[in-house]
Copies of this chain bind each other. A is one copy, B any other.
Amino acid sequence: MAEFPRKSDLPVSLARRYLEPGPIVLISSAWQGKANIMTLGWHVMLEFSPSLVGCMISGGNHSFEMIRQSGECVINLPTTLLTDTLVGIGNTSGAEVDKFSRFGLTAAPARRVKAPLIRECHAHFECRLYDDAMVDRYNFFIFEIVKAQAAATPKHPETLHYTGDGVFMVAGKIVSRRGLFRPEMLYP
């Protein structure tokens, strides 16, 4: 992939446009000179301001301790162009392979955290650990999104949504019902 999607800054409160639909995301992290990537479908928006997102990161992932120790990560949004790549990432361990190298992905510096961005992705959400109260019991990390960037086009890229058992749903088609919403439920 010779060209990368060009990203623009986005208000952090608009991260929900990309995360609330529930896509598989790629979580990048860095700790003690190494970087890693994992796939994640178990995430949830929790608040607009601060922009909070909760992530259930299983302790079996090599990324778990890297994220816990560094207190940071980047949530990257892959599109269907990266389908085989994300399946490969979810089926290998960072304990054994350098996933950026193995999958030909390009790390780029983030602005507010030390974890790298994955340039091939459509959007990046730089995260700092906000509350670890639920990590011991549920492996549930609450992050604050401190910086958001997304490609301007397409506005709603095709994303992958995992159902288990190797099968994904694809979302991309858009349906608007703005006319049926109360004005205070819409953006100004």
Contact = CB atoms under 8 A, between A and B. Distances in A.
Contact of A22 (B20, B87, B142, B170): B20
B169 A91 contact: no
A94 interface: no
Interface size on A, as a range, is 35 or more
B172 A169 contact: yes
This chain's copy number in the assembly:
2
A162 B21 contact: yes
A43 B44 contact: yes
A21 B91 contact: no
Given A166-B178, A170-B173, A20 B42 contact: yes
Given A22-B22, A22-B161, A46-B42, A175 B167 contact: yes
B181 A87 contact: yes
A101 interface: no
Interface string A63-74: 000000000000
Given A90-B185, A185-B91, A161 B171 contact: yes
Interface in A158-188: 159-182, 185-187
Interface of A: 14, 16-18, 20-23, 41-47, 52, 54, 56, 80, 83-84, 87-88, 90-91, 131, 133-134, 137-138, 140, 142, 156, 159-182, 185-187
Those 5 A-B pairs whose CB atoms lie nearest each other, nearest first: A22-B22, A166-B178, A44-B44, A21-B161, A171-B171
